[in-house]
Amino acid sequence: MEFDRFHQFGTLLLHDAFVLSYSGYVTEDILEAVGSTLRARLADHTASPRQIRNVFSIFVELMQNVIRYGTEGPQPPGLLGNRESFGLVMVCQNGTCMDILSGNYISKKSAGKMRRRVEFLNDKTPAELRKIYQSRLRQPPEFDSKGASIGLIEIARRSSMPLQYETRDVDEGLCFFMVKASVERSS
Amino acid sequence: MTDIHHPATSRTPAVTLNKETAHLLIEGESYPEDVTGFYAPIFQSLEAFFSAGNQRMNIDIKLIYFNSSSARALTELLDIMDSHAAKGASITIRWFCDHDDDVTREFAEDVAMEMENLTIAVIDLNHDG
């Protein structure tokens, strides 16, 4: 990377009240390392244990989603073993809120499925989410004909606002899928 | 049959199963890489404990944080205990939840409601402020 782009990248990250970001191939080891760093950083940014808990919880579920579904994206050159999961996650402070964003490459077909799941959950009240969560507990993890996986329901329950998402097309079959959750200090 | 003494790691809880005192304690963090691999041996030990004719078990759950896959495993644990309670075993469950962790407390209360033969005491851990 040339110095101008490198500097631009650094400036971009400093722009928002930025807590932490990770970009690259995501593994369980990375999740653990970035997760424990995040917890320590959050303690510097907020005094609310509830906000820390909800942000950390959303972070873990998002990272595990990336690990599970991020293998459809570009792969490191010369890869011999299993496909790698590429993803991007960022936590930043936004007034009294803490925003958690994650992005990964997925097929347009998977993106359509994700969109439907997020919209299904965004239509629900907290009491309905609580019920849906409970009803999914004894269903197989990949139960996804409609509705959503338990991880996504967990994210929706701990987010203070409806989940937002956007996609950017990469090529004919692939897109970059981004999702944003937000945790209010008092929630 | 042996007791279980798993020390806590950053991603897995401390698990202590004492067969002599009929006590199981699960305490700490739970977001293992392999949830089934972590919890299945514990469930097997419990099954072996009841198969050996024991009729009593006290379980304390003190988890600071657990992810959604661990929530599934905890539900399975309580379903297993419920089925033994149905067969006459005397089982007490205490589930300690952080005062300000609504999602976890609601989850514990909802699972408790679904148990047919098992009483789960959901206990608030009070924090200052």
Question: What value does the mean pLDDT take over residues B87-115?
Answer: 94
Alpha-carbon span B82 to B117, nearest angstrom: 6
Residues of A in contact with B69 (CB under 8 A): 64, 141, 150-151
Residue A139 in contact with partner chain B when CB distance is under 8 A: no
Question: What value does the mean pLDDT take over residues A75-98?
Answer: 86
Neighbours of A72 (CB within 10 A): 21
| In a domain? residue A130 | yes
Mutate to test the interface with A, among B12, B68, B99 (most CBs of A within 10 A): B68
Mutate to test the interface with A, among B98, B103, B125, B128 (most CBs of A within 10 A): B103
| In a domain? residue A124 | yes
Helices (H), chain B: 35-51, 68-86, 102-114
CA distances from B123 to A61, B56, B113 (A): 26, 21, 15
> Is the separation of the CB atoms in A183 and A51 below 8 Å?
yes
Question: Which of A53, A54, A154 is nearest residue B68 as measured by Cβ atoms?
Answer: A154
| In a domain? residue A108 | yes
- Output the CATH code of domain B4-125: 3.30.750
C-alpha closest to that of A146 among A176, A179, A174, A121: A121
Alpha-carbon span A95 to A17, nearest angstrom: 9
pLDDT confidence of residue B88: 95
| In a domain? residue A1 | no
Residue A99 has pLDDT above 70, yes or no: yes
A159-173 tens-digit pLDDT: 999 999 999 999 999
pLDDT band per the 50, 70, 90 thresholds, residue B28: very high
Residue B16 has pLDDT above 60, yes or no: yes
- Total domain count, chain A: 1
Question: Which of A28, A54, A133 is nearest residue B33 as measured by Cβ atoms?
Answer: A28
What CATH number is attached to the domain comprising A117?
3.30.565.10
| In a domain? residue A7 | no
3-class DSSP assignment, residue B73? helix
> Is the separation of the CB atoms in B58 and B90 below 8 Å?
no
Put simply, the answer to whether B114 touches A56 (Cβ < 8 Å) is no
Mean pLDDT, all residues of chain A: 88
Q: Please give the residue range of the domain that contains residue A26.
A: 17-75+82-184
Q: Indicate the domain borders of chain B.
A: 4-125
